[in-house]
Amino acid sequence: MPLQDHMQIISVDDHLIEHPRVFTDRLAAKYLAEGPRIVEDEKGRHIWHFEDKVYPYIGLNAVAGKEPAQYGLEPLRFEDMIPGCYDPVERVKDMDVDGVQAACCFPSFPGFGGRVFLQATNKDLAFACLQAWNDFSTDEWCATAPERYVPLALLPIWDVDRCVAELKRVAAKGARVVSFPDSPVPLGLPSFHSDHWGPLWDAFEETGVVVSLHFGSGSFVPGFSASAKQLSPTYKGGEFQSVSARMGGNAVKDDDAPTVTSFAVYATNLMWTASDLVFSGQLQKHPRLKFMLAEGGIGWFPYIWERMDQVWERHRYYQPIDFDARPSDLFKKHFWGCYIQDEFGIKNRHEIGIDRICVEIDYPHSDSNWPNSRKLIAASLADVPDEEAHRIVELNAREVLNFPRS
Amino acid sequence: MPLQDHMQIISVDDHLIEHPRVFTDRLAAKYLAEGPRIVEDEKGRHIWHFEDKVYPYIGLNAVAGKEPAQYGLEPLRFEDMIPGCYDPVERVKDMDVDGVQAACCFPSFPGFGGRVFLQATNKDLAFACLQAWNDFSTDEWCATAPERYVPLALLPIWDVDRCVAELKRVAAKGARVVSFPDSPVPLGLPSFHSDHWGPLWDAFEETGVVVSLHFGSGSFVPGFSASAKQLSPTYKGGEFQSVSARMGGNAVKDDDAPTVTSFAVYATNLMWTASDLVFSGQLQKHPRLKFMLAEGGIGWFPYIWERMDQVWERHRYYQPIDFDARPSDLFKKHFWGCYIQDEFGIKNRHEIGIDRICVEIDYPHSDSNWPNSRKLIAASLADVPDEEAHRIVELNAREVLNFPRS
Q: What is the pLDDT of residues B111-143, one digit of tens each?
A: 999 999 999 999 999 999 999 999 999 999 999
Segment B83-111 mean pLDDT = 97
| B375/chain A closest Cα distance in angstroms | 17
Could B279 and A264 be called an inter-chain contact, meaning their C-beta atoms sit closer than 8 Å? yes
- The number of helix segments (H) and strand segments (E) in chain A equals 16, 13
Of the candidates A264, A308, A317, the beta carbon closest to that of B264 is on: A308
Could B251 and A194 be called an inter-chain contact, meaning their C-beta atoms sit closer than 8 Å? no
Of the candidates B224, B304, B344, the beta carbon closest to that of A272 is on: B224
**Count of pairs with CB atoms under 8 A, one residue in A, one in B:** 240
Q: What is the pLDDT of residue B248?
A: 32
Q: Which chain A residue has the Cα nearest residue B266?
A: A307
Greatest CA separation found in chain A?
63
Of the candidates B223, B250, B267, the beta carbon closest to that of A319 is on: B250
Burial class (CB in 10 A: 0-12, 13-18, 19+), B284: exposed
Could B311 and A67 be called an inter-chain contact, meaning their C-beta atoms sit closer than 8 Å? no
Could B366 and A315 be called an inter-chain contact, meaning their C-beta atoms sit closer than 8 Å? yes
| B328/chain A closest Cα distance in angstroms | 12
- The number of helix segments (H) and strand segments (E) in chain B equals 16, 13
Could B344 and A276 be called an inter-chain contact, meaning their C-beta atoms sit closer than 8 Å? no
Calpha distance A328→A331 (Å, rounded): 5
Q: What is the pLDDT of residue B66?
A: 85
Could B71 and A271 be called an inter-chain contact, meaning their C-beta atoms sit closer than 8 Å? no
Could B315 and A366 be called an inter-chain contact, meaning their C-beta atoms sit closer than 8 Å? yes
Could B194 and A256 be called an inter-chain contact, meaning their C-beta atoms sit closer than 8 Å? yes
Pairing of strands B177-180, B152-153: parallel
B292 versus A236: the higher-pLDDT residue is: B292
pLDDT band at B226 (very low <50, low <70, confident <90, very high): low
Could A223 and B275 be called an inter-chain contact, meaning their C-beta atoms sit closer than 8 Å? yes
Q: Which chain B residue has the Cα nearest residue A272?
A: B223
| B106/chain A closest Cα distance in angstroms | 21
Question: With contacts defined as CB-CB under 8 Å, which chain A residues touch B320?
Answer: 250-251, 258
CB A185 within 8 A of CB A150: no
DSSP category for residue B105: E
Could B318 and A69 be called an inter-chain contact, meaning their C-beta atoms sit closer than 8 Å? yes
How many Cα atoms sit within 13 Å of B76 on the Cβ side? 11
| B307/chain A closest Cα distance in angstroms | 6
pLDDT under 70 in chain A at which residues?
Answer: 1, 73, 225-255
Could B320 and A251 be called an inter-chain contact, meaning their C-beta atoms sit closer than 8 Å? yes
Could A224 and B314 be called an inter-chain contact, meaning their C-beta atoms sit closer than 8 Å? no
CB A331 within 8 A of CB A309: no
- Measured between its terminal Cα atoms, the distance across chain A in Å is 27
Q: Which chain B residue has the Cα nearest residue A315?
A: B68
Q: Reduced to 3 states, what is the DSSP secondary structure of residue A131? A: helix
How many Cα atoms sit within 13 Å of B87 on the Cβ side? 10
CB B179 within 8 A of CB B217: yes
Question: With contacts defined as CB-CB under 8 Å, which chain B residues touch A257?
Answer: 191, 193, 276, 279
Q: What is the pLDDT of residue A75?
A: 78
- pLDDT above 80 for B249: no
Q: Which chain B residue has the Cα nearest residue A260?
A: B311
Q: Reduced to 3 states, what is the DSSP secondary structure of residue B396? A: helix
- pLDDT above 90 for B76: no
Q: What is the pLDDT of residues A230-239, one digit of tens each?
A: 333 444 444 4
ipTM of the assembly?
A: 0.93
Strand partners, A291: A211, A335
| A266/chain B closest Cα distance in angstroms | 9
Of the candidates B306, B316, B343, the beta carbon closest to that of A306 is on: B343
Of the candidates B185, B194, B275, the beta carbon closest to that of A264 is on: B275
List of residues 6+ apart from A393 with CB closer than 8 A = A3, A7, A8, A9, A10, A359, A377, A381
Question: With contacts defined as CB-CB under 8 Å, which chain A residues touch B349?
Answer: none
| A134/chain B closest Cα distance in angstroms | 28
- pLDDT above 70 for B229: no
| B225/chain A closest Cα distance in angstroms | 6
CB A295 within 8 A of CB A13: yes
CA distances from B232 to A225, A362, B77, B110, B247 (A): 19, 40, 20, 11, 11
Of the candidates B185, B261, B304, the beta carbon closest to that of A275 is on: B261
Could B272 and A222 be called an inter-chain contact, meaning their C-beta atoms sit closer than 8 Å? yes
Q: What is the pLDDT of residue B108?
A: 95
Segment B83-99 mean pLDDT = 98
Of the candidates B71, B303, B351, the beta carbon closest to that of A297 is on: B303
Q: Which chain B residue has the Cα nearest residue A222?
A: B272
Question: With contacts defined as CB-CB under 8 Å, which chain B residues touch A229?
Answer: none
Q: Which chain A residue has the Cα nearest residue B253?
A: A194
Q: Which chain A residue has the Cα nearest residue B260?
A: A311
| A94/chain B closest Cα distance in angstroms | 21
Question: With contacts defined as CB-CB under 8 Å, which chain B residues touch A275?
Answer: 223, 261-262, 264-265
pTM here?
A: 0.94
Question: With contacts defined as CB-CB under 8 Å, which chain B residues touch A271?
Answer: 265, 268
Burial class (CB in 10 A: 0-12, 13-18, 19+), A24: middle
Segment B257-273 mean pLDDT = 93
| Helix ranges (DSSP H) in A11-50 | none
Could A227 and B186 be called an inter-chain contact, meaning their C-beta atoms sit closer than 8 Å? yes
What angle (nearest 5°) sits at the alpha carbon of residue A73, between those of residues A72 and A79?
150
Instruction: Sheet containing A46-50: give its strands across.
Output: A37-40, A46-50, A53-55
Q: In whole numbers, what is the pLDDT of chain B averaged over residues?
A: 91
